[in-house]
Amino acid sequence: MKLFPIRGGIHPEYRKDMTSEKAIVAMPMPAALYIPLQQHIGAPAEVLVAEGDLVRKGQMIARNQGAVSASQHAPTSGRITSVAEVAAPHPSGLPQKTIIIEPDGKDEWADLPEPIADPFAADPHTIHDRVAQSGIVGMGGAAFPSAVKLNLGAQKKLETLLLNGAECEPYLTCDDRVMREYPDEVIDGARIMAHALGTAKVVIGIEQNKPQAIEIMTRAAAAFPEIKVVAVPVQYPMGSERHLVQAITGRETPARKLTADLGIVVHNVATARAVHHAVRFGRPLVARVVTVSGGAIREPSNVMTPIGTKVSDLVEFCGGFSARPESVVNGGPMMGQPLPSLDVPVVKGTSGILAMTAEEINNSPTSACIRCGACVTICPCGLSPVDMAAFIRKDNLDVAAKLGVMDCFSCGSCSWVCPSHIPLVHYFNYAKGVLRELESERRKSERIKTLAEVRTIRIEKAAEAKRAALAAKSKPAADAAPPGGETKATTEEKVNA
């Protein structure tokens, strides 16, 4: 299949061989599980259980609120010990409402929804509902509720389901292992998703550094003419949705549009497997494969981990630390988030836990920018990191916004390549945060202004009517009528602002 070039990109040290030959192992149930209500993009789920309740594996313990949200299920059978605020796996380390379960060791399944007998004969809605009910989110790291993405077929004309098996982040091998060990489940899940989306074609994109996965998946897909496995070049960030779509179809997703607008929906391979489980067995998403790796981990492994397992328990299972880690990262080294502590749970979007030594991170003190232009050459989004950073340093965020800082998806390539070790991504994250805040503030005050204006007009109208009525009665009184409406609106506006 003809592939298309993508702009820029880098070739970091992949270090995937630390775990790529480690078969997935299941970890024993930890002493407690911590299920945050929000493990996904969107609204947090609503708690359905209370302290002391007994739950069984797969039982829904929190229900999605609104369309963009995901339900949570008990990863094992046991007792709810509390619903409390617990530190979330987020760099801020802020606590989040979390359901704590004490496993009873029996790992007993609840009564699960009936398997969908012939999913290809089923209505797309049935599949969509099942996926929503099963709490499935994008497992590549973004954790966007999958059901929402599966519903895109209802609004747009779609032609291809692109299954993302690129796994371009260094270290991570969980998708590689899933493809190698469960190819048929992945393919079945993909076919079900394609049916739900109404796409005729399925393309599975895998980076060339996973030859076994490519071979195994190609063999597993051989029976289905509509599925094509494509080996894509090893080039970070090939796994970014827009770039993978461009590499495979040659088409560039316009800014502020979705790949779905081009007729292509991208899902992760592990998500496909979760869909297979939900549809064929009625099993919700209660565990995932996590790559535990990095130079500071004694036994790097791929671990089938119950959702809610504390990172410290997971690290313990992998032999603990062999050296002092400089950073512990949730996700891959390029786009992952630093963990504030090990006392946070593994969530549905956790693809990796990396304990990295200073040597692996290879950072040096920042020095002056020498304008080498490397960051401009490699930015996969065609931005000019050197210029954006210069304006952000001067706190001139407006110009940075004009230069496209909001288009930056923090892939980290520019920071990686910079010989002066300038923390460019850090600058951009800061700018994006502030600009987003300003924008929502502006929207808010605009709304308030409109409300206030409407009110002013209404009150003025009322005053006018009153004046007119008064004037009709006695002329002198009308002149004395206070222009109260305006003052009142101004005060209200201030209060609201």
Partner 1 sequence: MSIAIMKKSGPFAHGFNTVQKTMFTVLLALMPATLFNLYLFGWPAILLFTITVGACVAVEAACLLLAGKPVVATLADCSAILTGWLLAMSLPPWAPWWIGVLAAIFAIALTKHAFGGLGQNVFNPAMVGRTVMLISFPVAMTVWVAPHPLFSAGAPGLTEAFAITFGGNMPDTVSAASALGYIKTELSRGIPVAQSMAQVPDLMDMTLGYRAGSMGETSAILILAGGLFLMAKRIISWHIPVSMMGSLFLIAALFHAIDPARFTSGTFHLMSGATFLGAFFIATDYVTSPVSKTGQLIFGIGVGLLTWSIRNFAGYPEGMAFAVLLMNSLTPIIDQYTRPRAFGRTRKGEPLPLEEKP
- Token output for 299: 């036994």
Considering only residues 10 to 29 of the shown chain, the ones binding partner 1 according to CB under 8 A are 10, 12-13
CB 140 within 8 A of CB 351: yes
Q: How far is the CB of 175 from ligand SF4 (least distance, A)?
A: 21
* Of the residues 208, 212, 341, 377, which one makes contact with partner 1 according to CB under 8 A: 377
How far apart (Å, rounded) are the C-alpha atoms in residues 233 and 255?
Answer: 24
How far apart (Å, rounded) are the C-alpha atoms in residues 181 and 214?
Answer: 12
- Token output for 263: 């007729």
Considering only residues 238 to 257 of the shown chain, the ones binding partner 1 according to CB under 8 A are 242, 252-257
490 is a site residue for partner 1 (CB under 8 A): no
CB 357 within 8 A of CB 300: no
Per DSSP, what are the bridge partners of residue 165? 206
230 is a site residue for ligand SF4 (CB under 6 A): no
Q: Which does 422 bind (CB under 5 to 8 A by kind): partner 1, ligand SF4, none?
A: ligand SF4
Residues 6+ apart with CB under 8 A from 17: none
* Of the residues 81, 126, 420, 445, which one makes contact with partner 1 according to CB under 8 A: 420
State which residue, 317 or 428, has the beta carbon closest to ligand SF4: 428
Q: How far is the CB of 77 from partner 1 (least distance, A)?
A: 37
Q: Which does 416 bind (CB under 5 to 8 A by kind): ligand SF4, partner 1, none?
A: partner 1
How far apart (Å, rounded) are the C-alpha atoms in residues 381 and 396?
Answer: 21
Antiparallel, parallel or unpaired: β 352-356 and 287-293: parallel
* Of the residues 381, 400, 452, 489, which one makes contact with partner 1 according to CB under 8 A: 381
Considering only residues 413 to 442 of the shown chain, the ones binding ligand SF4 according to CB under 6 A are 413-414, 417-420, 422, 424-425, 428
Exposed / middle / buried, residue 371 (Cβ in 10 Å: 0-12, 13-18, 19+)? exposed
CB 175 within 8 A of CB 72: no
Q: Which does 336 bind (CB under 5 to 8 A by kind): ligand SF4, partner 1, none?
A: partner 1
Q: How far is the CB of 399 from partner 1 (least distance, A)?
A: 11
332 is a site residue for ligand SF4 (CB under 6 A): no
Helix (H) or strand (E) holding 232: strand 227-232
144 is a site residue for partner 1 (CB under 8 A): no
405 is a site residue for partner 1 (CB under 8 A): no
How far apart (Å, rounded) are the C-alpha atoms in residues 313 and 304?
Answer: 13
- By CB under 6 A, name the binding residues for ligand SF4: 369-375, 379-381, 383, 385-386, 408-414, 417-420, 422, 424-425, 428
